[in-house]
């Protein structure tokens, strides 16, 4: 399988998982016409704060792991925006993969974040190429995005399955937040495995605090 085919297949997997997650929250989510573009630019502001170096009146530093997680959150909303406009996952996967591989002029990290925000605000669109450049500047790539996206998406579903909406879900597992536990547990997992999604869900089940 070519690199492009692998990319398209993984994007399709993420699109399907995003739709499943959105349907879990609201089965009629597409018909609601949600403002996904607004969620994108709000996340961009949070990303800029974690990246730092823009508040000239105070010291700041880059929290790289959190920066990557914020990029993943933006990706969640970007996929939702795409899905809200078209339900054809195969075509969307091809489109996003093509955008990902499209050349774009280089830019500073914070300028790139603003490009994503402006695209969302002005055009109500989402361009994967901007995300690619941000990840490169973080020293990471699509595989990092894919791995973290799958993990966060499975965790979001797991939360819903275990009382997140009614307030009974336990977010602290043995002194750690659930997303920190997930990141640690995924270190030795193979994201290229066909059963990766099921394996992540299983490891969450095994480590979730009992009700005792």
Report the C-alpha gap between 160 and 166 in whole angstroms: 9
Which whole number is the average pLDDT over 195-206?
93
pTM of the model: 0.88
Distance (Å, whole) CA 148 – CA 142: 10
- The total of other beta-carbon atoms located within 10 Å of residue 62's CB is 13
Q: For residues 155 and 132, give the distance between their C-alpha atoms in angstroms, rounded to a whole number.
A: 24
The pLDDT tens digits of the residues spanning 29-70 come to: 999 999 999 999 999 999 999 999 999 999 989 988 889 989
pLDDT for 211: 65
Note the pLDDT tens digit of each residue in 100-123: 999 988 999 999 999 999 999 999
Q: What number of other Cβ atoms are within 10 A of residue 199's Cβ? A: 18
Q: Which CATH superfamily is domain 3-207 in?
A: Type II deoxyuridine triphosphatase (1.10.4010.10)
Provide the b/e sequence for 29-54 (b: ≥16 CB within 10 Å): bbeeebebbebbbbbbebbbebbeee
Residue 198 has pLDDT above 70, yes or no: yes
* Percent share of the chain, pLDDT over 70: 99
């Amino acid at each position: 399988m070519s690199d492009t085919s692998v990319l398209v297949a993984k994007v399709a997997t993420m699109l399907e998982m995003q739709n499943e997650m959105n349907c879990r929250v609201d089965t009629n989510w597409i018909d609601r016409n949600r403002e996904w573009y607004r969620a994108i630019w709000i996340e961009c502001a949070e990303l800029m704060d974690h990246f730092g170096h823009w508040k000239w009146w105070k010291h700041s530093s880059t929290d790289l792991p959190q920066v990557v997680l914020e990029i993943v959150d933006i990706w969640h909303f970007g996929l939702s925006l795409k899905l809200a406009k078209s339900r054809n996952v195969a075509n969307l996967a091809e489109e996003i993969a093509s955008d990902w591989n499209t050349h774009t002029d280089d830019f500073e990290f914070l300028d790139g974040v603003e490009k994503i925000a402006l695209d969302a605000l002005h055009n109500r669109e989402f361009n994967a190429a901007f995300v690619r450049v941000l990840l490169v500047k973080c020293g990471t790539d699509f595989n990092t995005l894919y791995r973290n996206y799958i993990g966060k998406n499975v965790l979001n579903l797991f939360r819903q399955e275990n009382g997140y909406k009614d307030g009974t879900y336990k977010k602290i597992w043995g002194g750690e937040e659930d997303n920190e536990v997930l990141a640690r547990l995924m270190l030795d997992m193979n994201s290229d495995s066909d059963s990766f999604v099921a394996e992540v869900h299983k490891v969450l089940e095994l480590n979730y605090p009992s009700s005792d």
